[in-house]
Amino acid sequence: MNRVANVMDTAPKTAGWDGRTLHQMLDDSEAAFAKSGRCFGLDRLPLKEADPIRFEKIFSRLRGSLVNARETALNISASPIVKELGELCFCLYSPEGDSITLSTGILVHVHTMSEAIKYMLRNDYEDNPGINDGDIFVNNDPHIGNVHTADVQTLVPIYWEGEVVGWAGGVTHVMDIGSNTPGSNAVGPTTRYEDGLYLPCVKCGANDRLFQDHVKRCERAVRTPMYWSLDEKTRLAGCHMIRAAVQALIREEGIDSYKQFIREVLEDSRRSFVERVKQLLIPGRYEAPAFIDAQFADEARLPAETRKDILMHSPFTLSIGAAGRLDVDFEGAGKWGLHSFNCTPSAMAGALWVALTQTIMPNDKVNDGAHFATGLHCPRGSWVNPDTSTTAHGNAWYYLVPSFGGMFRSLGRAFYARGYVEEVIAGYGHDGNILQGGGIDHHGNESAVSNFEMSCIGGGAGTIRDGLDHASVMWNPEGDMGDVEAWEMVEPLLYLGRSVKTNSAGAGRRRGGSGYECMRMLWHTETYELQFVGDGAVFSYPGIFGGYPGSSGYRFALKNNDLEDVFARRAPYPTGDRHSDGRQATDLVRGDVVLDKRATDLPAPFRERDLYLSFMRGGPGVGDPLARIATDVAVDVREEVVSAEMAERTYGVVLEKSGGSVDEAATAARKKALREDRAAKAVPVRAWLAREREVRVMAKDFSAPVADMYRSSMKLSPAWAARYRAFWSLPDSYQV
Amino acid sequence: MEGGMAADRAVREPRILAIDAGGTMTDTIIIDRSGDFVIGKAQTTPEDESIAIARSAEDAFDYWKLPLRDGMGSVVAGVYSGTAMLNRLLERRGQRVGVIVTRGMEDYFKLERGVQTHLGLSYSDRLHVVTHRHSVPLVPKSRIRGVGGRVDMFGNEAIPVYEEDARKAVHDLLDEKVEAICVSLVFSYRNPSHEQAVGRIAEEVMAERGQRVPVMLSSVICPTRLDFPRLNTVVIEAYAAEPSRRQLFRVREKFRDLGASFEPRIMASHGGTISMEAGQLVKTLVSGPIGGVVGVKYLADKIGIDNIVCSDIGGTSFDLALITGGEYALKNDPSIEHFKLNLPLLELDSVGAGTGSFVRINPLSQRIEIGPDSAGSRIGLCYAEGKVDTVSITDCNVVLGTINPDYFLGGEIKIDRDKAIEGVRKQIAEPLKLSVERAASGVIELFEESLRQAVITKVLGRGFEPVSYSLCSYGGGGPLHVGGYTEGIPFRDVLVPAWAAGFSAFGCACADYEYRFERQMDLAIPPKSSAEERHSLGQRINEAWGVLSDEVHAEFAKSGIARSQVRIKPYVRLQYMGQLNDLEVASPVDRIRQTGDFEKIIEAFEETYDRVYARSARSPELGYFVTRLVATGIVDCEKPALPNDALAGETPSDSAFKAVRKIFWRTQTIDARIYQMEELRAGNVIEGLAVVESPATTFVVPPGRRARLDAHRIFHLS
């Protein structure tokens, strides 16, 4: 007996199945897929075929436990981002790190956590530092598997009789990650070394307890330690609930059935995804590029070499194969930069995931099966796949969100072509503004804030309905802006108003969803640093089928003002900026005006009673605005979604001066005039292209950021350069 | 329907009357001194509810051959629950309300909270953004006015109140011919002075104009944090509750006309009953599903069970609640339909799966999908008059033979079994390549599995173990599926009251006469607070409890109840400092008098916290935060007696045995014994597979399990 025990002690222990290491399991799984094109090489699904009902029962139990873990755990968090706005997500993975099922929430992370698990396996964590029952791992590194550093993941292995049978993963969006500027979407960092706290798949606990050194280290590294600590407990509690649920299921169903199930469910979902693509979409190649600006030329607080205006280029191509395959290609994206907007393939895969769960697959098993049926090309060296790990990623979302607008527009066209008109959505508005900053708050504490009201921006229009007004965002269909009284608990700024943003919705036969705006006043703080984050000089979400984009943003602040005096006189004070020109405030209050299109900037000091306008953007429209039903425009005007002036100018709808009903005769005349005006200006596309080629392209009449953008894309991608030259019929020697 | 199974009595003494006024039918349950009861039914009369209520009471008394007047004269307690107020809200048939808010916030109802666009949707629709919709505003923007001024989160005035704005706002709203004015200003729960100023100005303006409409202040109706749910709550009070109050007064008048001497009470969302005169009638917005939970609590108290799961299956939903240590939990910021509200609601999880849920096969994945939509009262394919073209859960039960097609609602409704078979064959069995029976039983298995999951997560999700719980099943579909959804869960006991179908109405009759008042406090208890700090906090808590108790007494005083009759219970809502979610604990002390009292409250909180969220989440290092204080006041009232029948032997009498019927169970056909519920006697034991039928309920005892009927007419399934 003794001898046997000794042999057992010295034999290498593996946590994988059948004596393999987890790393071997991952290699085997990838090899089987590469060879067969099917998950684990499965050509039949014996468990499902023998008993489809039991198969569904197991799935429904697992998913139920994930949803339950999220609903229960989010109550532990103190952060309004997590508790009120639901910025958390839980997922169950296979031993190799493929997602089996997930809760609702920020679904972008289902795949990012998958990458993190695979990173640990590839780097033989099983050997060192060890992957043991009760261990806890944490990750937030986008180069491993994440979008930006403020999304922090907790990963817990699930053991059954000495084998890893899965992983539980949880992610929360934390309030601050300790980067060189405060807040969870830091715009200040230019390299990894300013991004703040990095936890690149770190073992942070054992025996179900967090290591004290990890806890202390993190608390000292971020500006909001209390929120950090409760968020980490939230993630951990959720992971432990999932683990318990999986173990209970195995006790009932047996380990062999469970193992078979997690294999089959991935292949089953892959097949189902392929079928859906075939059913819902018309095959073809869809192009939908996007752009977003950041004007840093005058940012004195940035290092000298990074002070310039930049324009992101996302040359988005979606290919839908007749056999149901779906490929996304970013060939032509410009070089990564010295800013915090860089993305990684992991982030891009996450975003692809988000778009798919909202559009093609909400009614099906949501798991990594879809990942196996899609391809994603992220050219190396570009901002979607930097060829160095020194890049900053604090606000990767800034580029990521517009770049995937192309996905919604392309799917919209493909749905429409197939006849699924009710599924069309033109995308979303840009997810700004983010009111962000830090300083000493109204409780007298060091603090950082990232206001998540931007999880409710205007949605894109569809073909049979207007866009959803101020209630969702690309990265979270379950948006919520929270209560004024909740935000004022954590931010030293009062709301002087929260209202619909007139003319923010993209015009169209179906208009985009409206945005809204909040006028904020600094309160009970000596000094606080705040910044604006959002698109400014360009719009990032065009409409489709002739619909207009939602309005791009601007920044407005009124500093060193005389509001104290205004209040004392009981004189009217500003509650918004309805005309987007600052007048509503400047007519009433004297002060130093900040009003321009530099809608993303670095934190700057604000003082007591300074005003800050936070404007959440509107969504893009669908179809020609002149085709919009006039009475619908009248309703929009009454609700101040559209101004009477824009109704006339863009929709051609004239309203009665009193009562606001449609003036039929004037409207008919106005529409006629607009159409005649269009006809007068119109030239054949061929002629327009020829003229543009001469006066713009050949003359190289580009603004500096546009020229930089072209140069970068052409240098990095000869293929894209060739396409550009071919489109404009340019000589091979053409360079910008 | 006649309930209970006791022999006819010569003399009936009706004691309690409970009304369940639904959208289509109004039920009245009447309970006599011995616990026997009858249920009367009548078609609901929305224009004047009192008509249907009188008719259904008459129908009920008729079973006992009692004239309506005689019956009413003998009743000593009556409770109303109904959906009229909720329907008025959902159908937007409320009063013409004007609203005054903080200037700049006039778009409240247009913006709503984003969450209101996806509240209550299924998992897949929550992801599927094209299904999200905004609610139709309760009040159009033309009747919303802003008033300048701001109070901050500490209760300090940041901007003085602009009284001229208020004056103009009131004039404007009166010009708009509003029937009520609601005032809800930001942070008014911390400092109500601005709202009070607006209220005073409204009174002045109305006096000047010689007009009079009610003015409701949010700091009075619901002085708790979160401005949008608070606004919703106060507006619903004016919009939907006030018209309901007028209806209820008519019910009371009707009862008085019929010779009743009791004061009817209304079932409220916190699980107690309140008077029609109550200041906050909005608390009765949701009452239907509450009754069952209150009934279970009452049963559990009577027969000595501390921990019990309440499970109710109706046509459209499966409702679950937990009673732990003899108490159910309350939720402070519940969502009701598409509204976020600020009022205490008994914590009840509702799963969109009921006996009417539709069953479909996803053509791409070949998955069985159940619900979320439902045939509801249209039953299924098997009911021709329902004009349904999709298979429902009931259809599957009919196919399997668990439901007797000739005895649905006692034979009142004609069921066509062939139609059910045909539908299941075409829609489910053929796509899945299964036999009709196997397809139907697969659907039922999946359905029961999802309910079973919901039951398990309800218990485990709160950190408890099923072994320390019993489960009670009721509602029209409860006894039919209870065997399935409790399978393999080690509950201590599974209870099925013989009157399961009328249990919600019965539950209303069991509710306490109870008011509940709460106040937002926001008192911080830092990690290293001194004894002095704690003493002064204790003083503030005592004062607040005093104020809340006075509010309770004042409400009871409206019904002429003396302070000495009221039992006051104090509660504290606590969280770790900085957290956003609090927990309610019954205070172990009625006042904070000495050192250590405070610690007792903290201890009670930490124990609850461990249970709800795992021990690893404890965070005493952050300190504590008292969010709200609560006081409830209870007055004794008449409650139903539980029947106490003499025990007979284990073997049911011949008269109870109806037939042997073939039932398809899981994978095979089994002969099942069918019993008539009313003929069973206390002590009888039924071995599965068996079906116990009564006009309103079908109770299935699965193979290998047995059900024993106790002296209180409760089956125990083991």
Task: Band the pLDDT of B471: cuts 50, 70, 90.
Answer: very high
Task: Band the pLDDT of B305: cuts 50, 70, 90.
Answer: very high
Above 80 in pLDDT, residue A79?
no
Q: Which chain B residues are within 8 Å of A84, Cβ to Cβ?
A: 580
Task: Band the pLDDT of A611: cuts 50, 70, 90.
Answer: very high
**B22-60 residue pLDDT tens:** 777 788 889 988 888 888 888 888 788 899 999 999 999
Q: Tokens in use for B602?
A: 């903290």
Q: Which chain B residues are within 8 Å of A495, Cβ to Cβ?
A: 104-105, 186
Is A471 part of any domain? no
H or E segment and range at residue B389: none
Q: What is the architecture of the domain spanning B513-635? A: 2-Layer Sandwich (3.30)
Above 60 in pLDDT, residue A11?
no
Provide the pLDDT for residue B528: 80
Percentage, residues of chain A above pLDDT 90: 81
Q: Give the range of the structural domain holding residue A206, as residue numbers without chain letter.
A: 2-35+65-251
Above 50 in pLDDT, residue A1?
no
Provide the pLDDT for residue B254: 92
Above 50 in pLDDT, residue B487?
yes
Provide the pLDDT for residue B286: 85
Residue type, A285: R
Burial B331-348 (b: 16+ CB within 10 A, else e): bbbbebebbbbbbbbbbb
- B596 in contact with A, Cβ within 8 Å: no
Above 60 in pLDDT, residue A191?
yes
Query: Per-residue DSSP letters for A399-452?
Result: HHHHHTHHHHHHHHHHHHHHT-GGG----B-------EEEEE-TTSSEEEEE-G
* Count of pairs with CB atoms under 8 A, one residue in A, one in B: 241
Percentage, residues of chain B above pLDDT 70: 97
**Are residues B364 and A364, on separate chains, in Cβ contact within 8 Å?**
yes
Structural domain ending residue among the three candidates A229, A251, A273? A251
What is the rounded CA–CA span in Å between residue A281 and residue A366? 19
Provide the pLDDT for residue B137: 92
Looking at the DSSP assignment, which residues form a beta bridge with residue B20? B27, B81
Give, as one character, the DSSP assignment of residue A476: B
- A529 in contact with B, Cβ within 8 Å: no
Above 90 in pLDDT, residue B703?
yes
Pick A370 or B425 by higher pLDDT: B425
Rg of chain A's alpha carbons, rounded to an integer?
27
The alpha carbon of residue A77 is apart from the nearest alpha carbon of chain B, in Å, by 6
**Are residues A500 and B106, on separate chains, in Cβ contact within 8 Å?**
no
Is A444 part of any domain? no
Provide the pLDDT for residue A7: 42
Is A523 part of any domain? no
Is A452 part of any domain? no
The crossing angle, in degrees rounded to 10, of helices A225-253 and B436-460 is 140
Region A149-157: what's the mean pLDDT?
Answer: 96
Residue A37 makes CB contacts below 8 A (sequence gap 6+) with: none
Region B108-135: what's the mean pLDDT?
Answer: 90
Give, as one character, the DSSP assignment of residue A460: P
Structural domain ending residue among the three candidates A211, A230, A251? A251
**B361-385 residue pLDDT tens:** 988 778 888 887 888 778 899 998 8
**A5-14, B30-39, B83-92, range with the lowest pLDDT:** A5-14
Looking at the DSSP assignment, which residues form a beta bridge with residue B19? B28, B80
Closest Cβ–Cβ partner in B110, B226, B442 for A500: B110
Provide the pLDDT for residue B458: 80
**Are residues A60 and B450, on separate chains, in Cβ contact within 8 Å?**
yes
The alpha carbon of residue B201 is apart from the nearest alpha carbon of chain A, in Å, by 16
Task: Band the pLDDT of A298: cuts 50, 70, 90.
Answer: very high
Task: Band the pLDDT of B570: cuts 50, 70, 90.
Answer: very high
Is A94 part of any domain? yes
Is A639 part of any domain? yes
What is the rounded CA–CA span in Å between residue B505 and residue B501? 9
Q: What share of chain B is helix, strand, coil (3-state, %, to 5)?
A: 40, 25, 35
Provide the pLDDT for residue A8: 44
Mapping DSSP to helix (H, G, I), strand (E, B) and coil, where does residue A655 land?
strand
What is the rounded CA–CA span in Å between residue B102 and residue B680? 64
Provide the pLDDT for residue B631: 95
Query: Per-residue DSSP letters for A57-72?
Result: HHHHHHHHHHHHHHHH
What is the rounded CA–CA span in Å between residue B308 and residue B466? 9
Give the torsion through C-alpha atoms of B96, B98, B104, B108, to 10 deg: -40
pTM for the complete prediction? 0.90
Region B627-644: what's the mean pLDDT?
Answer: 89
Above 90 in pLDDT, residue A218?
yes
Provide the pLDDT for residue B4: 46
Residue A436 makes CB contacts below 8 A (sequence gap 6+) with: A182, A183, A184, A185, A187, A449, A450, A451, A530, A531, A533, A603
Pick B300 or B286 by higher pLDDT: B300
Provide the pLDDT for residue A253: 93
Task: Band the pLDDT of A80: cuts 50, 70, 90.
Answer: low
Residue B615 makes CB contacts below 8 A (sequence gap 6+) with: none
The alpha carbon of residue B141 is apart from the nearest alpha carbon of chain A, in Å, by 8
- Mean pLDDT for all residues in chain B: 89
Tell me which residue of A223, A226, A237, A183 sits closest to A74, measured CA to CA: A237
Instruction: Kindly tell me the sign of the dihedral angle through the C-alpha atoms of B490, B491, B497, B501.
Output: negative
Above 50 in pLDDT, residue A3?
no
Give the torsion through C-alpha atoms of A106, A110, A111, A115, to 10 deg: 110
Asked if B284 and B236 touch (Cβ cutoff 8 Å), the reply is no
What is the rounded CA–CA span in Å between residue B603 and residue B478? 38
Q: Which chain A residues are within 8 Å of B445, Cβ to Cβ?
A: 53, 57
What is the rounded CA–CA span in Å between residue A19 and residue A85? 44
Domain-wise residue ranges, chain B: 14-88+245-288, 96-178+180-213, 513-635, 654-717
**A152-156, A594-598, B19-23, B461-465, range with the lowest pLDDT:** B461-465
**A62-71, A112-121, A226-235, range with the lowest pLDDT:** A62-71
Q: Which chain B residues are within 8 Å of A236, Cβ to Cβ?
A: 616
**Half-sphere exposure of residue B678: CA atoms within 13 angstroms, side-chain side:** 12
Query: Per-residue DSSP letters for A352-410?
Result: HHHHHHHHTSTTS--STHHHHTEEEE--TTBTTS-SSTT---TTTHHHHHHHTHHHHHH
When divided into structural domains, chain A yields a total of 2
Q: Which chain A residues are within 8 Å of B160, Cβ to Cβ?
A: 567-568, 570
Asked if A87 and A322 touch (Cβ cutoff 8 Å), the reply is no
Asked if A589 and A466 touch (Cβ cutoff 8 Å), the reply is no
Task: Band the pLDDT of B6: cuts 50, 70, 90.
Answer: very low
Region A337-356: what's the mean pLDDT?
Answer: 93
B513-635 and B14-88+245-288 share a CATH fold: no
Tell me which residue of B207, B218, B205, B220 sits closest to B173, measured CA to CA: B205
- Mean pLDDT for all residues in chain A: 93
**Are residues B126 and A68, on separate chains, in Cβ contact within 8 Å?**
no
- A497 in contact with B, Cβ within 8 Å: yes
Task: Band the pLDDT of B463: cuts 50, 70, 90.
Answer: low
- Quickly name the fold that domain B14-88+245-288 has: Nucleotidyltransferase; domain 5 (3.30.420)
Interface of A with B in 531-550 (CB under 8 A): none
Task: Band the pLDDT of A726: cuts 50, 70, 90.
Answer: very high
Residue type, B133: R
Provide the pLDDT for residue B564: 93
Provide the pLDDT for residue A6: 44
Is A230 part of any domain? yes
Give, as one character, the DSSP assignment of residue B409: G
Q: Which chain A residues are within 8 Å of B581, Cβ to Cβ?
A: 75-76, 83
Provide the pLDDT for residue A198: 97
The alpha carbon of residue A465 is apart from the nearest alpha carbon of chain B, in Å, by 9
Kindly list the distances between the CA atom of residue B569 and the CA atoms of A362, A386, B585, in Å, as whole numbers in the listed order.
47, 63, 11
What is the rounded CA–CA span in Å between residue B86 and residue A614? 36
* Residue A50: other Cβ atoms inside 10 A: 9
Task: Band the pLDDT of A604: cuts 50, 70, 90.
Answer: very high
Above 50 in pLDDT, residue A491?
yes
Burial B85-102 (b: 16+ CB within 10 A, else e): bbbbbbeeebbbbbbbbb
Is A422 part of any domain? no
Interface of A with B in 94-133 (CB under 8 A): 104, 107
Provide the pLDDT for residue B638: 83
Query: Per-residue DSSP letters for B626-676?
Result: EEEEEEEEEE----PPPP-PPP--SSPPGGGEEEEEEEEETTEEEEEEEEE
* Residue B206: other Cβ atoms inside 10 A: 17
